[in-house]
Amino acid sequence: MNLNNPSSDIAILGMGTALPVHKVAQPYIAELIASSLLDRPDLARFAKRIFKSCGVETRYTVEPSYLGTLEECRYIPLGEQTDIPTTRERMDTYQREALPLAIRATQEAMQDAQISPEAITHIITVSCTGQYLPGLDVQLIQHFGLSARVNRLPLIFQGCAAGLKAIQMARDVVQGAPGSQVLVVCVELCTLHFQPVQDREALFAASFFGDAASASIVGTPEAQHRDYLSLGTGYSVLLPDSTEDMTWKVADYGYDLHLSPRIPKLLGNHLQEELSLLLQSEQLPELWAIHPGGRGIVDSVQEVMNLKSEQTKYSRDVLRDYGNLSSNTILFVLQAMRMDMKKQEQSSTEGVAMAFGPGLTAELMKFTYVPALTSVMEEQDHVLL
């Protein structure tokens, strides 16, 4: 952060999150799936084991049928059941459920940033779990009464890394057009894409994804702003020899996700070099916002960067309480970190954020937690004295 000119900072000025009303305990889903695999006892045992060990305790879903009996849940067919929701049905549910979550998250973010809807100049909408046109961006403009001339930037089908990618895009927008106020909204309804379990690979994907929305306001901080995240440099990188290790494709019954068990190892092999490039021999930051794409990913980053348990706490807590929320997840981590820093009345603290998606893509960014703009000015005065 530039202490000589705090007003030149670009920051996340406000954040909001929203969850569906349906909360599902992990053991319940594990039993539901195991009950559908009575003819595959080996796979049923594996399901219980992987659901117990993946680091998730509860998840949220827009689909109430997951709370019912096995016969009531069309997403987990019993035996030869063929009444599985088609992709069209799943997209209809997405279109119905996405906007209310997005509205709640956006309202919270705008209140947090102390910004009125008419001040928004750009809107970036993010999702890889559903699409329709006119899209979520148009609906949000109409609901909040944003200017019809708001610059709309949809970021679609980019996977879990897209939330952090959108924040970096918003930073670049404000840098190129000073005075801009960018609204970033992510909505992911991952549980709509649950597939009938045929093998162990499908169980990995089923074991940790959940539904949520998040929103952020990115702009230049002013005197009234408190507890914001100043955005530093960052970039995206494609990791070598990993194109087929994470794939996400449209199919007849939702989207088919493939996750290779090699992913944690691949990240461990390449992240240290990339983080060294990002940090440019700076001292390792105190704050680590790691996308908890799974327990193994957080374990891998912690091990390769020699982090303390308290430095990965926010990521593990989000994974435990909500699961992997795709593009939302890193924003939930940053919000939890920010609120905890506020509660502890911490001073300005450096951090690094990272998220991962198909490619394999690693999205990396430096940031600074700032309790208040006035404290930065006081620090500047102290340095000058």
Beta strands in the chain (DSSP E): 11-18, 22-25, 58-61, 122-127, 151-156, 182-189, 211-219, 226-238, 246-251, 254-259, 287-290, 349-357, 361-372
Structure tokens at 242: 């990993």
What does the buried/exposed string (b/e) look like for 141-175 if buried means 16 or more CB atoms within 10 Å of the residue's CB? Answer: beebebeeebebbbbebbbbbbbbbbbbbbbebbe
Kindly state the DSSP code that residue 199 receives in the 8-state scheme: S
Q: How far apart are CA 36 and CA 82, in angstroms?
A: 13
Q: How far apart are CA 129 and CA 290, in angstroms?
A: 21
Q: Is the peptide bond before 134 cis (omega within 30 degrees of 0)?
A: yes
Closest CA to 6 of 225, 197, 170: 225
CB 214 within 8 A of CB 166: no
Phi/psi-derived region of residue 121, left when phi > 0, alpha when psi is between -120 and 50, beta in every other case: alpha
- How far apart, in Å, do the first and last CA atoms of the chain sit? 19
Half-sphere exposure of 118 (CA within 13 A, CB side): 0
Phi, psi of 316 (to 5 degrees): -70, -35
**Residues taking part in catalysis:** 160
Q: How far apart are CA 385 and CA 373, in angstroms?
A: 19
CB 368 within 8 A of CB 1: yes
Structure tokens at 348: 């300005």
Structure tokens at 66: 């997951």
Q: Residues 352, 358, 363, CA angle at the centre, nearest 5°? A: 15
Q: How far apart are CA 302 and CA 300, in angstroms?
A: 5
Phi, psi of 260 (to 5 degrees): -80, 140
